[in-house]
Amino acid sequence: MKVGCGYDSHRLVEGRRLVLGGVEIPFEKGLLGHSDADALLHAVCDALLGAIGEGDIGTHFPDTDPAYRDIASLRLLEAVAGKTKEAGCLVHHVDATIILERPKLAPFLPQMAVNIARTLEIPGNGVNLKAKTNEGMGFIGRGEGIAVMAVITVTERERP
């Protein structure tokens, strides 16, 4: 068994869409970034890459490459899932915590989990998502941004 840990954060700004877990969430601000800035999927990608010893999302999908400008992060997760298979690993479980003051994410968490489970080809109960506030503290508490932490477990397939 291997474990990967991922983290991502982005600023909330006007004029951008708020996309988390591949779900567009109605809100007056969105996440600033080169891609769609889906901090949840970026943290999941980093956790997967960590579990298979392949660095981080910025190494594989640099923000200096125009090919990734405004790309849907579900496409990035698909690519990382492919790398995970190539490494001979099976994903078992994803656990992630999304930290932001608002909007409330409870109505959107089930679809986010479905998107992640489908992309990683794991059962729905293999993805657990939580949303927390920062109790008004720091940049998150002031509504300036979001942070996400993710942990993933994988196992290596038996070698012939």
Task: Count CB atoms within 10 A of the CB of residue 106.
Answer: 10
36 within 8 A of 20, measured Cβ to Cβ: no
CATH of the domain at 83: 3.30.1330.50
Cα separation, 36 vs 72, in Å, equals 6
- Based on C-alpha coordinates, what's the Rg of the chain? 15
Cα separation, 94 vs 96, in Å, equals 7
- Residue 160: is its pLDDT beyond 60? no
pLDDT in tens, 26-74: 999 999 999 999 999 999 999 999 999 999 999 999 888 888 888 999 9
**Model's pTM, two decimal places?**
0.95
What pLDDT is stored for residue 75 in this prediction? Answer: 96
Residue percentage of the chain with pLDDT more than 70: 98
For residues 54-86, one letter each, b for 16 or more C-beta atoms within 10 angstroms of the residue's C-beta and e for the rest, the string is bebbeebbeeeeeebeebebbbbbeebbeebee
Q: What is the domain range of residue 58? A: 2-156
Cα separation, 101 vs 97, in Å, equals 13
What pLDDT is stored for residue 67 in this prediction? Answer: 87
Sign of CA dihedral 20, 3, 64, 120: negative
What pLDDT is stored for residue 68 in this prediction? Answer: 85
What's the domain count of the chain? 1
pLDDT in tens, 79-121: 999 999 999 999 999 999 999 999 999 999 999 999 999 999 9
